[in-house]
């Protein structure tokens, strides 16, 4: 008879742990709903209204898929409460408060990812946070840039891309003149808008580089180099797009507007992705080559 309580003790402990996990999950859900019930819909609206950030719709499903693929690695590490994670959780709350007080959308949105990382560290431990580091970094990439940073980067990049594209067209033998971000051809003038500066292409290709690094590369160094070269690849192909648009517009102005202009943006992204894929394979062969002998 004395063995009966001992036999049911593990079951009671497992039930207690299950209830505790459910309480933690409920607590996290309540905190997220209270803090971000306005922040997340506003960010989704930015994805919808700004074409350059539309890739944000793909990030949450991709993050969910990566987490699902790593579920065994996550489960292999014991879930342990770690009080050190409260420092990150508290810091995320301070970032959120600063964003609310300064009406800075980027800070409030960035605090969401920091808070999730803090919750994982606190309730699951540092080892599980390490496994989930990449999904959290990928989740961070869905946040649009701060307005101040966006305009500080866009203007010089816009002028640089326009200038180089003008030089390329001139080398091909066409008469062309540039004034700021305006390109003048004999039959038409083209304005290189902010959306065509190449910044949005750089952001979307950076996300692609993160995914390619996750799939194709095993070392952090290789992934970092691949992410770094995503930006010059995006700028290069954007310059090719501007120069190509100018060449086509000289013969048919309709090719510089409407559907053709939007379609050329997709061509640039696809071409940049192919170039990144080739770069990933090359970097893997060079930087991850195993010594022989």
- Per-residue pLDDT, 6: 42
What percent of the chain clears pLDDT 90, i.e. is strictly above it? Answer: 47
Note down the domain range covering 68.
3-144
Boundary residue ending a domain (90, 116, 144): 144
Could you say which DSSP state residue 203 is in? H
Residue 291 phi, psi dihedral angles, 5° rounding? -65, 140
Residue 293 is assigned to a structural domain of this protein: no
- In this prediction, residue 3 has a pLDDT band, given cuts at 50, 70 and 90, of very low
Tally of domains within the chain: 2
Do 276 and 152 share a structural domain? yes
* Cα four-point dihedral sign 17, 18, 19, 22: positive
Do 140 and 152 share a structural domain? no
Boundary residue ending a domain (101, 118, 144): 144
CA-to-CA distance for 282 and 249, rounded, in angstroms? 36
What percent of the chain clears pLDDT 70, i.e. is strictly above it? Answer: 89
Q: What is the average per-residue pLDDT within 89-104?
A: 93
Do 212 and 97 share a structural domain? no
- In this prediction, residue 289 has a pLDDT band, given cuts at 50, 70 and 90, of confident
Do 157 and 276 share a structural domain? yes
What is residue 288's three-state secondary structure?
Answer: coil
49 against 6, higher pLDDT? 49
Q: What is the average per-residue pLDDT within 183-209?
A: 84
- Per-residue pLDDT, 13: 44
- In this prediction, residue 290 has a pLDDT band, given cuts at 50, 70 and 90, of low
pTM: 0.82
Boundary residue ending a domain (100, 116, 144): 144
Do 161 and 134 share a structural domain? no
- In this prediction, residue 24 has a pLDDT band, given cuts at 50, 70 and 90, of confident
Identify the weakest region by mean pLDDT among 32-36, 64-68, 104-108, 270-274.
32-36
The 3-state secondary structure of 81-146 reads: CCCCHHHHHHHHHHHHHHHHHHCCHHHHHHHHHHHHHHHHHHHHCHHHHHHCHHHHHHHHCCCCCC
Residue 61 is assigned to a structural domain of this protein: yes
- 125 within 8 A of 77, measured Cβ to Cβ: yes
User: Angle, to 10 degrees, between the axis of helix 133-140 and the axis of helix 105-124?
Assistant: 170
- Per-residue pLDDT, 259: 65
């Amino acid at each position: 008879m004395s063995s009966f309580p001992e036999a049911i003790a593990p079951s009671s402990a497992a039930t207690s742990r299950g209830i505790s996990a459910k309480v933690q999950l409920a607590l996290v859900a309540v905190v997220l709903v209270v803090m971000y019930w306005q922040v997340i819909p506003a960010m989704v609206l930015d994805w919808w209204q700004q074409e350059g950030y539309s890739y944000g719709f793909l990030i949450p499903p991709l993050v969910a898929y990566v987490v699902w693929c790593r579920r065994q690695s996550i489960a292999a590490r014991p879930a342990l409460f770690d009080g050190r994670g409260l420092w990150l959780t508290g810091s995320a709350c301070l970032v959120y408060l600063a964003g609310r007080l300064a009406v800075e959308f980027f800070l409030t949105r960035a605090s969401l990812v920091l808070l999730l990382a803090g919750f994982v560290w606190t309730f699951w431990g540092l080892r599980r946070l390490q496994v989930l580091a990449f999904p959290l970094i990928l989740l961070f990439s869905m946040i649009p840039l701060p307005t101040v940073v966006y305009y500080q980067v866009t203007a010089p990049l816009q002028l640089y891309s326009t200038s180089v594209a003008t030089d390329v067209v001139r080398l091909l033998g066409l008469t062309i003149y540039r004034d700021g971000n305006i390109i003048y051809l004999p039959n038409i003038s083209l304005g290189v808008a902010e959306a065509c500066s190449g910044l949005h292409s750089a952001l979307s290709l950076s996300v692609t580089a993160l995914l390619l690094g996750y799939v194709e590369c095993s070392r952090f160094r290789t992934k970092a180099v691949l992410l770094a070269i995503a930006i010059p690849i995006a700028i290069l192909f954007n310059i090719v797009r501007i120069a190509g648009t100018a060449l086509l517009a000289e013969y048919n102005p309709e090719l510089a507007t409407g559907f053709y202009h939007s379609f050329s943006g997709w061509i640039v992204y696809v071409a940049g992705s192919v170039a990144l894929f080739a770069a990933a394979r090359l970097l893997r062969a060079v930087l991850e080559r195993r010594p022989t002998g």
